[in-house]
Amino acid sequence: MRLARIEAMTTDRYGEPTFRRMALAPGLLAAVALVVGLALIDGDAFLIIRFVVAIFALIVAWFAFQARHWWWLPILAAIAVVWNPVFPLALSGDLWLGLQYIGVIVFIAAGVLIKVPNPDAGRAVR
C-alpha cells in the first residue's frame, strides 16, 4: 500500500513520471571517477581525474540551473574550480583525500536531489 502511494506522488494519472533526474547519471559517473581518483592522487594519471570531475561538475551545474536549484550552483562551481586541470591548485595528499570524499557525497546528493519537471507529464499516450 505504501509503495502505491509513493508511486502515485511521482507519477501522473497516465503513469508517466512527473520529474526526471537528469543529473543522476553524470553525478554517479563523477562519483565513480572520484573514487578511482583516490588511488591516483599522487600520480600523473590524476590529471585525467581532474578533467573528468571538472567537466561533470559543470554538467551537473547546468542541470541544476535548468531545474532552478540555485543553491547547488556555488557548490558545483567550487568543485569545478578546485579540480580545474588548466590552473591546478597545489594541494597536499591528505587534503585531496578529504576533498575526494566530500566530492563523492556532493555528486551523489546532487544527482539524487536535482529534479527537472517532465514536459511529457499529463499528456495521454495514444
- 119 or 98: which leads in pLDDT: 98
Q: Is residue 64 part of a domain?
A: yes
Query: Residues 29-79: pLDDT tens digits?
Result: 999 999 998 888 878 888 899 999 999 999 999 999 988 888 999 999 999
Query: Residues 8-23: pLDDT tens digits?
Result: 456 555 556 667 788 8
pTM of the model: 0.79
Instruction: Return the residue matching grid coordinates 495521454.
Output: 124
pLDDT at residue 3 in the model: 43
Burial class (CB in 10 A: 0-12, 13-18, 19+), 109: middle
Q: State the total domains in the chain.
A: 1
Q: Is residue 78 part of a domain?
A: yes
Q: Is residue 51 part of a domain?
A: yes
Q: Is residue 8 part of a domain?
A: no
Q: Is residue 4 part of a domain?
A: no
- 121 or 57: which leads in pLDDT: 57
Asked whether the predicted pLDDT for residue 85 surpasses 60, the reply is yes
Q: Is residue 79 part of a domain?
A: yes
pLDDT at residue 111 in the model: 92
Q: How far apart are the first and last CA of the chain?
A: 29
Q: Which domain holds residue 74?
A: 20-114
pLDDT at residue 44 in the model: 85
Q: Is residue 5 part of a domain?
A: no
pLDDT at residue 5 in the model: 45
Q: Is residue 91 part of a domain?
A: yes
